[in-house]
Structure 1
């Protein structure tokens, strides 16, 4: 469901891999509920599931008697939990900002975008995230 390894898979394979991924995340978080990276990944999983199109949801229902479900609120909870542990993580701040922006909560979107933009990027990927954050901030 998340990550580059699923980018080139078909819907059926993405859904199957997503189910395995979520199961492993839940097991790992049962061992260490304060692992910020695991919380972020679970948030990404929830974000991906919540973002499924209508047709992808129908496909999931074909492959699973009970397809995975998640909401943007669940994703936000995990991203915010990761933020409490590691507040200076640019990628996590961007996901938080995206959700607040999508919900129409411009105050919180601006708050987290400002935090993100105040940080120094460590690599090209983080510079690209900051570039996206600037575009998103201009829409708030």
Structure 2
């Protein structure tokens, strides 16, 4: 079998293409390295907050973007310092709904530091978070983030209430999250919250449903299918796989008898590190 012969011009053209390809690969490699370096610096800056004394209410760095960036940290000590930082600015921003819903978010995240550690501290922080969310609501009802964090903070109080008040809170939570989704249907976390609401209602026992029907003219109704739809939409909208959402997808499939899909999502969730995700 004879090999095809190439002209000198063709060989030169191939050589030039190879050189160009190498340059492209090198450029892409440098871009990837730059991205990883930038990401590493971002993580480092999140987890190495400036001292509280270095930031005051007139500091140019205390922007909404800066607050959101710092709240993305999952470290308990960072959440505590952010809570202390925003608390210093609360009076100055008491009429600023953008600040207030972020303060509600920050306070809620800080309350998670006390899971299984100090329930009373967690309870106080949850009530405090709701207070800030509702102050924001008084200022701006037609904001998706305000409605979302009203839903989250109201829902968080369910752990500290009796069954009747838990159901009442559930109606309020649903009202807020549906308003949030109407204002911003592409918010993955709002879909996750509504999925949690549907799942909780679907999981009510027969006795709980009977009690609910005696307490309310129209007791809450939801199905595992509705919950699954919301969790799948959250998964579609969230570019980073989130362990907790995948676990609830698995739970829905399990309740619906889809054992194979449940097993698939459980395995996928098991491979993901435990994080809080960005909320």
Q: Output the TM-score relative to the length of structure 2.
A: 0.42
Structure 1 outlier segments of 4+, above 6 Å: none
Q: Is the 8 A contact 1:11 1:59 kept in 2?
A: no
Question: What runs of 5+ residues in structure 2 fail to find an aligned partner?
Answer: 1-153
**In 1, are the aligned partners of 2:224 and 2:255 still within 8 Å (CA)?**
no
Question: Are the aligned partners of 2:155 and 2:170 in contact in 1 as well (CA < 8 Å)?
Answer: no
Corresponding residue number in structure 2 for 1:23: 175
User: Structure 1 regions of 5+ residues with no counterpart?
Assistant: 127-140
- The match for 1:100 among 234, 253, 264 is 253
- Which shows bigger deviation, 73-82 or 59-68? 59-68
1: CA distance between counterparts of 2:223 and 2:159? 21
- Paired with 1:69 and 1:10, the residues of 2 have a C-alpha distance of 19
**In the TM superposition, what whole-angstrom CA distance separates every residue of 1:36-61 from its partner, at most 9, and x where no partner exists?**
11101100000111111122112211
CA distance in 2, matches of 1:121, 1:27: 30
Equivalenced residues, count: 123
Residue among 223, 230, 252 paired with 1:71: 223
Report what 1:35 is aligned to: 187
- Higher alpha-carbon Rg: 2
TM-score (norm. length: structure 1): 0.80
Alignment RMSD: 1.9
Give yes or no for the alignment of 1:91 onto 2:244: yes
Please state whether the residue corresponding to 1:38 is helix, strand or coil.
Answer: helix
